[in-house]
Chains A and B, each alone.
Chain A
Amino acid sequence: MNAFYGLFIVCALALAALVGVGGGGMTGLFAVAIPYAAVAIFVVGFALKVMCWAKSPVPFRIPTTGGQQKSLDWIPYARYDNPVNSRDTVVRMILEVLTFRSLFRNTTAVLGKTPDGKPQVGYFSEKWLWLAAILFHYSFLLIVIRHMRFFTEPVPLPIQWLDWADSILQIYSPTLYQTNLLFLAGLGWLLARRLLYPQIRYISNAADYFALFLIIGIALSGIYMRYVAKVDIVSIKQFTMSLVMFSPVVPKEIAPSFFVHLFLVCVLLAYFPFSKLMHLGGVFLSPTRNLPNDSRIHHHENPWNPKIKPHSYEAYEDDFREAMVEAGLPVVKQLEEEA
């Protein structure tokens, strides 16, 4: 059911753009007002969210990470899984962000049988999620970088090279981008696993499906424009350039399908800061990834503890000796000795 909510909302959004632009006469709204608003919400929302996270207290290191902890000198320790200094922690972060190392450790629970027929739970390594995530994220990144051809003049050489490399198979005209196929393959699996596995379906919310369908919608509308309908790219570039130069013009040659693509992107931008997609910023603030495991090397003080002066037992007894004797509690120094 949750999947249908997600699908329904994305279809409704696409339809709204199609009707709004293609006949509704609201091109100004969809082409100008909404894109500026979406970028503003994304930038401000992202910054506020990160600053809000930055303000939350980080009391001490969380050492529950994989790998042998550093202890005695003759026991080799896992330098990058369980780092004790900043340098190795930076390496762990880079590996995490670029290669999704934690996800690579993903396991799946399987209900099997022991040799004598009793049911037994087993845990197996499960790499498909990691593979789909890598395909999806890197394709997304490359597609967004390639899209910079709509916002630059002259188009910088690295972007031209990327365009050339991504269409190197020289299939069809306009040439097929490999990232388009890999993007859909990655997204397809991320969606399929939520639908196919009962355990994952059980924990999937409408928001999980919405994010997936929204990005699938963006991908399909882009692919439709490029390979099926064909749009007037140079007119679109005139529009995109005018948008980033803050003097928007909307050439009438632009087909409505473009505004469906654009509107879904705007929804993604505006939705981003409030959604689980903020893991883009959140991964950098993960305490189990970005803090070295040095709680046995350095003394960490809980930063919001009140300053408490040391109060020895002797001083305590000096303060309360009479009351203690009266209550029959044993004291080290007797009342007479004190006098």
Chain B
Amino acid sequence: MYDGSKILAGLIVFLALVTFPFWNNFGAKEWKQPELKLPPKEVATQCIESKEYMREQHMKILDDWRDQVVREGKRIYIAKRDHKEYQMSLQNTCMKCHDDKEKFCDKCHTTASVSPYCWDCHIAPKAKGN
């Protein structure tokens, strides 16, 4: 073998890099989904849509709301689930119940490494401890 040691060294570095996800978590047994602080029963018992729908689509809903309100002046959202009416507003609807950004929004956003630009303009309310 010619330059065997150099090739072997390169190969080991490469394999170490590609197996990073495995050895980086070596020894850990389980990863749990972040625990969210939900609004207490007296504030709200249900969200505007089902939990599954919200988990997948909330960013799309907010994006749609922004366009509807800012560009078309439409402010009423009719829920798909029960046709209830809600005001399209991050601050006045969503964050009325979910008032603690750090204990709700940020939990998943941090673990998913996303930094939504909503709060570049909107200011998160002071947590009332809902």
Show the binding face of A for B, using Cβ within 8 Å.
42-43, 46-47, 50-51, 54-55, 57-58, 148-149, 151-155, 159-160, 163-164, 170, 172-175, 229-235, 237-238, 240-242, 244-245, 247, 253, 255, 281, 284-285, 303
Name the one of A151, A164, A233 contacting B21, with C-beta atoms under 8 angstroms.
A151
Among the interface residues A173, A231, A233, which one has the most CB atoms of the partner chain B within 10 A?
A173
Q: A42-B18, A234-B111 are in contact. Are A54 and B1 (CB under 8 A)?
A: yes
Chain A contacts for B20, CB-based, 8 A: 148, 151
CB within 8 Å: A-B pair count: 115
Q: Interface code B17-35, partner A: CB below 8 Å = 1, 0 otherwise?
A: 0111110110011111110
Query: Which 3 residue pairs are nearest across A and B when measured between Cβ atoms?
Result: A241-B31, A151-B21, A149-B113
A232 in contact with B111 (CB, 8 Å): no
Given contacts A151-B20, A175-B116, could you give 7 more A-B pairs where the C-beta distance is less than 8 Å? A54-B3, A55-B1, A148-B21, A152-B21, A237-B33, A244-B24, A245-B29
Q: How far is the CA of A335 from the CA of B98 in the complex (A)?
A: 114
B21 in contact with A232 (CB, 8 Å): no
Chain B interface main SS type:
helix
Show the binding face of B for A, using Cβ within 8 Å.
1-4, 7-8, 10-11, 14-15, 18-22, 24-25, 28-34, 52, 55-57, 59-60, 62-63, 108, 110-118, 120
Chain A contacts for B31, CB-based, 8 A: 153, 237-238, 241-242, 245
A173 in contact with B2 (CB, 8 Å): no
Name the one of B7, B63, B112 contacting A54, with C-beta atoms under 8 angstroms.
B7
Q: How far is the CA of A245 from the CA of B22 in the complex (A)?
A: 7
Q: How far is the CA of A46 from the CA of B7 in the complex (A)?
A: 13
Name the one of B28, B30, B108, B120 contacting A234, with C-beta atoms under 8 angstroms.
B108
Chain A contacts for B110, CB-based, 8 A: 154-155
B55 in contact with A43 (CB, 8 Å): no
Q: How far is the CA of A255 from the CA of B8 in the complex (A)?
A: 41
Chain A contacts for B18, CB-based, 8 A: 42-43
A234 in contact with B114 (CB, 8 Å): no
Q: How far is the CA of A234 from the CA of B112 in the complex (A)?
A: 7
Chain A contacts for B52, CB-based, 8 A: 232, 253
Closest to A241 in B: B31
Closest to A147 in B: B21
Q: How far is the CA of A174 from the CA of B34 in the complex (A)?
A: 20
Q: How far is the CA of A292 from the CA of B113 in the complex (A)?
A: 45
Min CB gap B115→A, angstroms = 6
